[in-house]
Chains A and B, each alone.
Chain A
Amino acid sequence: MTVFHFFNCAILTFGPHAVYYSATPLSEYDTFGTSVKAAIVYLGTALVKLVCLATFLKVPENDSFDPYQELLKALIGFIDVAGLYFALTQLTHRNISQNHKFQAVGLGWAFADSVLHRLAPLWVGARGLEFTWEYILQGLEANANLVLTVSLAALGSLMWLRKNKPRTLVPIIYACAGILATMPSITSYLRRGLGWHFPKVVGFELFASLAMAFISWQLFSACQKPSA
């Protein structure tokens, strides 16, 4: 019954993306092309990140938290942000509203991330006889990642695509975007530096993603008001 388990974990990991696409107006406005383009940009970004990591990072001897290495990883993580910028601003999209553009880009980005990072371990590991909770936790992590990415895309579109923003909110926007961008470093610090177990880390990610999503939503609607 292990292909069954693989099927379950696959639903958990990739289902929400499909549900998000079909449930929201994204499917009505046929923004599939945008998502695909965002996914391709993500692949390119991942390649660039890989090369940078391989060039600048040392292989750690033990699994402890090395601040210097983590700082370097965080800096390289900003390449992600650059990639999102590219996907949001530089690509030519069909005439879709701001609202839907960032959602489509975020969705495509998160889907590519899940496939790249989680499909192969799932295929190799979840089909075995041995049962572990790991793949279910990985699926939950994918869900949290989706929410985080969409929030980041929202804040990104606020930063780069919207010209008239209320002055007071601008620093908050940048601060939240910064937190979202450095989320991978935060989780790695929790896992290595504080020694949290995987379930705890995933729980933190879920909670953080929901919190950040709420904050981004508020910011977005606050910025919408002047133009409405």
Chain B
Amino acid sequence: MAGSKGREGEMLESIYSVLALVFILVACVELGDAATVVDVYRLIQYDLAGVPFGSRLASLNHHAGSLPFAPGADLSRTVVIIPFREVNITFLRDYIMQRQPLGGLLLLLPQNISSESREEAEEGDRNNGKELIRSELAELEKLLVHVNIPYPVYFAFEDDKITAVLADVKTNDATGQPATATTGGYKLVVSTPEPKKLASPTITNIQGWLPGLKADGDVNQLPTIAIVASYDTFGAAPALSVGSDSNGSGVVALLEIARLFSLLYSNPKTRGRYNLLFGLTSGGPYNYNGTFKWLQSFDQRLRESIDYAICLNSIGSWDDELWIHVSKPPENAYIKQVFEVAWEHEQFSKSRVTAVTLSELSVAPELLESTGGLSDSRHFVNGIAVSRSVKLVAESLARHIYGHQGKNIQIFADGSSLAVNPFYIQSWLDLMSQTPRVAPFLPKNDPFILALKKELADHTAEVNVQHEALDGIFTFYDLTKASLNIYQVASVTFDLLLLLVLGSYLIILFSFLVITTRGLDDLISLFRRPPSRKVKMA
């Protein structure tokens, strides 16, 4: 008896524990059921010498709102969605500078600048419109990168879903009731962990060496010509900073020049008496930190053998003006430790190497400006300009190397076997325009870096890769890309109303059933205590 009861008790206990487990599991069912999920890209977050910049928060869980702001409204729990064409820079600047509270900011970028869209750059009106967009984007980027914003800021591309949501939000706002927990509307949720500092970001320099022809019995080191381009970018949205022109065009030009000269140098009869050193440097936006470290790694003999260096920077969207920037080497290298380096060749000048920068920009860009951000997408660079730059540099180099100055010989003539290959340039420009290349977010063995290394190895005899740590004054934070869930939520009042309606429905149903099956008297008797009994007891 006791034994069977004991067993029964055990069985019951195990059943209870199984039930409890089932309940717990069921309660943890993942609630991922948003109507709309959008890819969003976070504004960059960095510290420069300890001073914080960019957007300091990542996770988002607030109601959606839109412009124009209702006067006196409390926006600290609202995410404002602003399409790019409605952005008023002065208004935004004032709002941020005055440190007004805001739950979050979602900026919608036009679809045609995304790397997914495949529109070709056309002449005429289109170009003017695009130029306007480009300059406005640049201005917006400049504002956002140089301020400290204490709430999350995200970029997204406009598509049908999000446009519909925005239209809805605008009509709701127009009725004068901004969305809160009690009035329903849309809720924007980005669930990410807190952004963390990136520990020891690395910059990677890739160099290719094409040796020249040493005549027999010649003991002296051959002179070297260096061709350098920095390949990394910096922008307001690191996941979108593809830098097609700054400096994708420079990298592509360097690769094409390397290809052409590797063809020439493959045959000993056409090999020149100069070594060619190709350098793809990183750390460009940060005062050309990578170039500096690269030069430091040279040994004395190599550095002294460099006749001159040509740095390529933004040569992809010029029409008829291309600039060469030079600087005098400092008289005394110890006098002036230049903090800000505007052009790449100035790092060479610091090491007493003659260098120039070839660029379409006539004025040196400021720190963290023209570094290939939001406004620098595939549409704003064209392969023809790059081809022309390549031809210019290659012909000039060839004239110097082979001593053709003054003669009218075209080595890289169109239609010849050494012609500049437009398809090569197009395909590499396309690749550059789809790869965001902000240096702290490029790990040491990123496939893109390996691809550059492999390409350079195809064209040169010897390739070296140098990994360095990025300068200490810059600190970056992670989380550049996230998923935004847009939920359409009903207000609390709606739920309460529904409860009321259901309650009354059930009560009516109850009364109806009691009346029809038991009679009206029964219903009344439910609510009235029979008084006769009390009388009887008394």
Contacts and interface: CB of A to CB of B under 8 A. Distances in A.
Report if A and B associate in a common complex: yes
B506 A129 contact: no
A8 interface: yes
B518 interface: yes
Nearest to B515: A23
A5 B488 CA distance: 14
Interface of A: 1, 4-5, 7-8, 11-12, 15-16, 19-20, 22-25, 123-125, 127-131, 136
B419 interface: no
Given A4-B495, A8-B502, A129 B510 contact: no
Interface string B486-515: 011110100100110010011001111110
Contact of A129 (B31, B499, B505): B31
Nearest to B487: A129
B492 A1 contact: yes
Given A4-B499, A128-B34, A128-B487, 16 more contacts: A1-B490, A5-B490, A7-B499, A8-B498, A8-B499, A11-B506, A15-B506, A19-B506, A22-B510, A23-B513, A24-B513, A24-B517, A128-B33, A129-B34, A129-B489, A130-B35
B189 A129 contact: yes
20 contacts: A1-B495, A5-B498, A12-B502, A19-B506, A19-B509, A19-B510, A19-B513, A20-B513, A22-B510, A23-B510, A23-B513, A23-B517, A24-B514, A123-B26, A125-B33, A128-B31, A129-B31, A129-B33, A131-B184, A131-B487
B279 to A, nearest CB: 52
B24 interface: no
A208 to B, nearest CB: 19
A127 B30 CA distance: 10
Interface in B28-59: 29, 31-35
Interface of B: 26, 29, 31-35, 181, 184, 187, 189, 487-490, 492, 495, 498-499, 502, 505-506, 509-514, 517-518
A3 B510 CA distance: 25
Given A129-B34, A130-B34, A16 B509 contact: yes
A15 B508 CA distance: 12
A25 B26 CA distance: 36
A11 B504 CA distance: 12
B408 to A, nearest CB: 70
B376 to A, nearest CB: 37
Given A22-B510, A23-B510, A11 B502 contact: yes
A62 B490 CA distance: 33
Contacts of A15: 502, 506
B26 A23 contact: no
Nearest to A12: B502
Nearest to B485: A129
Contacts of A125: 33
Given A129-B34, A129-B489, A8 B509 contact: no
